[in-house]
A and B are shown apart, each in its own frame.
Chain A
Amino acid sequence: MLDDLKYRDGEVSVAGVRVRYRVAGPDNDRTPLVLVHGTAGSVDGHFGYIFPMMAYRQKVIALDWSDTEGATLELADLVAQVRAVIGDAVPVGPVTLLGYSLGACVAAQTAAELPGKVANLILVAGWLKTDTHQQMRNRIWRALRDQDSASITEYMTFCAFSPGFMNMKSLPEMVAAAGMLKMSGFVDRQMDLNTRIDIAEACETITAKTLVIGCTFDMMVPKHHSKQLFGAIEDARYTEIPSGHAVVHERAAELFHHIDMFTRAPGAHPAGTIIPAQKP
């Protein structure tokens, strides 16, 4: 293999389950970056691009969620896993915490709980409080799942990508992409958690320097949610990427650009700034 990216795997135990994480990249003047994936995701699935590319810039840590023992999955379970990984991988000094989708809700809650530790926060396509629009989508998903419908992965793919992106692909390509999605009991439990998110109060207490990234054509977590986060978090700045919810695939390089700029100089834009898109 030509690639020179070296990484190490770590593991911590929390509430009786083992949580695996991966570390790569050099120690330097940037704060270690911790990546939290979203629903039905994993390090490879959601950060296959961002993890290795950011690791050429700085230290990056990313974890895979583990299923829990409880009757239902709670936000607190996932927060505990993230806190455990941070404690294990970065015992001293601050971190920059990035969460994507449901991972953004987890990251925001974690930042509220660890005000000194989480110095910087990046919330990609996250939300404050589940709304009717999301509940409606989740309900259709639930029905397809209960019917054991083969269409469920295509429905998820349809919701995840922007029309513009999809139209650069062919229908067979999109169907093949849908075929890669795997359902599981753990995904069911995450989908259930998605219907019950409310971190409005916690967000009011976040002190981290925060970058909120909304996705213009997001049909799963429309950008008004990101605007709400931008409003709720004191030290937040906002930017938008013209993509669907699947921004980690659709506009991976543009997402990288925003993460790279923010982790290099988190305070470059004052709180309240709407950072314009770079016009090439």
Chain B
Amino acid sequence: MTLHSKIVIIGSGFAGLGMGIQLKRSGRADFVILERAQDVGGTWRDNHYPGVACDVPSHLYSFSYLPKPDWSRVFSPGPEIQAYMRQCAEDEGLMPHIRFGTEMLACRWDEDSALWTIETSQGDYTCNVLITGTGHLADSHMPKIPGIESFPGDLFHSADWNHEVALEGRRIGVVGSGASAIQIIPEMQKVAGELVVFQRSAPYMIPRWDRAFSEGEKRMFRRDPSTVEAMRSEIFWAGEYNFAQRRNVPRFLNEAKAMALGNLERNVADPDLRARLTPNYEVGCKRLLISNAYYPAMCAENTRLEASALAKIEGSTVYGASGESYDLDVLVFATGFEAVRPPFAARVFGREGISLDAHWDKGMQAYDSIAVHGYPNLFIINGPNTGLGHNSVVYIIEAQVNYILEALDHLEQNQVRLFEAAAEAEDAYMDRLQGRAEGTVWLAGGCKSWYVDERSGRLTLVWPDYAHSFRDENGHFHPEGYEMVPGPLAAE
């Protein structure tokens, strides 16, 4: 049996929930949210590793229209964020719209009926408008390590933490030194007999201004919502300030570098260890990481730093690229996510029957970072050129949700059954973005390899400007960039 909804949303992370809430609030009830897992939360449901927390203060990293006066800390732990998201979904009456345990397997556009058909693990759906909110950091990246299958101990990815595995007193290896790794490592150091950290490149790290909120503060936030609003704005604009680093202005790069290297110097006394924890690339190439616990953990007696990538595994012996070897019981891969080629794209087939992934064989691109020529009646949230290195992703999601709401208003008012980004508009948008990206840390000098899609030499993940500029430019629907076919909406 095929079920029809006017709108189908894939995913129930911040993107899917934010979209659903606003559909509901705008009086639209004819939608479903398909979610492969059994709960809402996306990133925050899947990442339950020890130490998981956000890197943007919670009062900003949350929906602007659903403030939470009683966040426990400046940077709240992951489970609290997921609980907040579930509460939002419940309070806004979203739960009845969500189909859990329903994995989208393929979406196919049918030109004649102007409908998307969605094959799922729980039967088929059709819809007039398809919205993907499948996340840009939802699918784990596992590096291909020779001999990995021979490892007799416990091995898992950070986003798939196996809490059954006993860690106390064991020899634990953590692979990676990115945002997740630096949260996990201090927790592992506390319990491990021996901890080995495989670090391909050292991160730049600055202090984390974290603390618990007092009961009095929470009451103040509850009693006077303007205090929450003022804090949100303060956090947001402080984050925006840091875009000058991304924009590659020497003065601000140097400011950040001095802060990070000063932090390293204060926390790591041993000159040899300090040298190996010093990044060998320009600041700004990668996200500045924030932690107070990482350096102390790296200095601990039971920690060893392997300052090279994990190279191969032979049984329980694990080798760094340097040739150094370690015998380990547990191996944690904090190696990040598939971002350059998001898996959902291989499952969405447009007018020509070609998958988005194949269509994007030269790298992702979308008009207004949201719609793709050849893929009518589709909006992609958190897709090409939406990533930020310096501010809250929820802010970007809200801008995109607003864009879609305005689009829906337009389509309804003008009785449009089919809309599609114009090829010229899409190319012109991408040219503008690339022009703007010139000279940023992402394209200039030694940083290129981190961000550029090697197939096209273009920046495809990152929004190369301020977050507020994203909202200014992509927070409102631009009908002029679309081809539209009038007519009544099909319904099955």
Determine the chain A residues whose CB is within 8 A of the CB of B439 once the complex forms. Answer: 3-5, 56
Determine the chain B residues whose CB is within 8 A of the CB of A253 once the complex forms. Answer: 237-238, 240-241, 243-244, 466, 468
Within residues 56 to 84 of chain B, which ones have a CB less than 8 A from any CB in chain A?
60, 64
Q: Is the CB of A2 within 8 A of B251?
A: no
Q: Which one, B230, B236, B445, contacts A2 given CB within 8 A?
A: B445
In the complex, A267 has a CB within 8 A of chain B? no
Known: A4-B444, A52-B249. A280 touches B236 (CB 8 A): yes
Q: Is the CB of B395 within 8 A of A280?
A: yes
Q: Is the CB of B240 within 8 A of A48?
A: no
Determine the chain A residues whose CB is within 8 A of the CB of B492 once the complex forms. Answer: none
In the complex, A180 has a CB within 8 A of chain B? no
| Number of B interface residues in the complex (CB < 8 A) | 37
In the complex, A49 has a CB within 8 A of chain B? yes
Q: How far is the CA of A253 from the CA of B438 in the complex (A)?
A: 20
The CB with the most chain B CB atoms within 10 A, among A1, A2, A53, A280, is that of: A280
Determine the chain A residues whose CB is within 8 A of the CB of B232 once the complex forms. Answer: 279-280
Determine the chain B residues whose CB is within 8 A of the CB of A278 once the complex forms. Answer: 468, 471
Determine the chain B residues whose CB is within 8 A of the CB of A48 once the complex forms. Answer: 251
Shortest CB distance A149–B (Å): 30
Within residues 16 to 69 of chain B, which ones have a CB less than 8 A from any CB in chain A?
60, 64
Determine the chain B residues whose CB is within 8 A of the CB of A251 once the complex forms. Answer: 237
Q: Is the CB of A280 within 8 A of B60?
A: yes
In the complex, B150 has a CB within 8 A of chain A? no
Shortest CB distance A231–B (Å): 26
- Chief secondary structure at chain A's binding surface: loop
Shortest CB distance A131–B (Å): 27
Determine the chain A residues whose CB is within 8 A of the CB of B229 once the complex forms. Answer: 279
| B interface footprint on A49-76 (CB within 8 Å = 1, 0 otherwise) | 1001100100000000000000000000
Q: How far is the CA of A93 from the CA of B439 in the complex (A)?
A: 29
How many Cβ-Cβ contacts under 8 Å join chain A to chain B? 75
Determine the chain A residues whose CB is within 8 A of the CB of B444 once the complex forms. Answer: 2-4
| A interface footprint on B438-471 (CB within 8 Å = 1, 0 otherwise) | 1101001111000000000000000000101101
In the complex, B247 has a CB within 8 A of chain A? yes
Within residues 223 to 280 of chain A, which ones have a CB less than 8 A from any CB in chain B?
242, 251-254, 256-257, 260-261, 277-280
In the complex, B224 has a CB within 8 A of chain A? no
| Number of A interface residues in the complex (CB < 8 A) | 24
Shortest CB distance A15–B (Å): 32
In the complex, B248 has a CB within 8 A of chain A? yes
Q: Which one, A2, A5, A56, A277, contacts B233 given CB within 8 A?
A: A277
Known: A2-B441, A242-B233, A279-B64. A252 touches B250 (CB 8 A): no
Determine the chain B residues whose CB is within 8 A of the CB of A260 once the complex forms. Answer: 469
In the complex, A163 has a CB within 8 A of chain B? no
Q: How far is the CA of A2 from the CA of B471 in the complex (A)?
A: 28
Determine the chain A residues whose CB is within 8 A of the CB of B244 once the complex forms. Answer: 49, 52-53, 253
Determine the chain A residues whose CB is within 8 A of the CB of B64 once the complex forms. Answer: 279-280
Shortest CB distance B484–A (Å): 26
The chain A residue with its CB closest to the CB of B395 is A280
Shortest CB distance A42–B (Å): 14
Determine the chain B residues whose CB is within 8 A of the CB of A277 once the complex forms. Answer: 233
In the complex, B234 has a CB within 8 A of chain A? yes
In the complex, B472 has a CB within 8 A of chain A? yes
In the complex, B282 has a CB within 8 A of chain A? yes
- A binding-site residues for B, Cβ under 8 Å: 1-5, 48-49, 52-53, 56, 164, 242, 251-254, 256-257, 260-261, 277-280
The 7 closest A-B pairs by CB, nearest first: A253-B240, A4-B439, A280-B236, A2-B445, A253-B241, A254-B237, A52-B249
Please name 14 pairs of A and B residues whose Cβ atoms are closer than 8 Å in the assembled complex, sorted by A. A2-B444, A2-B445, A3-B253, A4-B439, A5-B439, A49-B244, A164-B230, A242-B234, A254-B237, A254-B240, A256-B466, A257-B468, A280-B233, A280-B237
- Add 15 more A-B contacts to A2-B444, A253-B243 (CB < 8 A): A2-B441, A2-B446, A3-B248, A3-B253, A49-B241, A52-B247, A52-B249, A56-B436, A56-B439, A164-B234, A253-B244, A253-B466, A253-B468, A278-B471, A280-B237
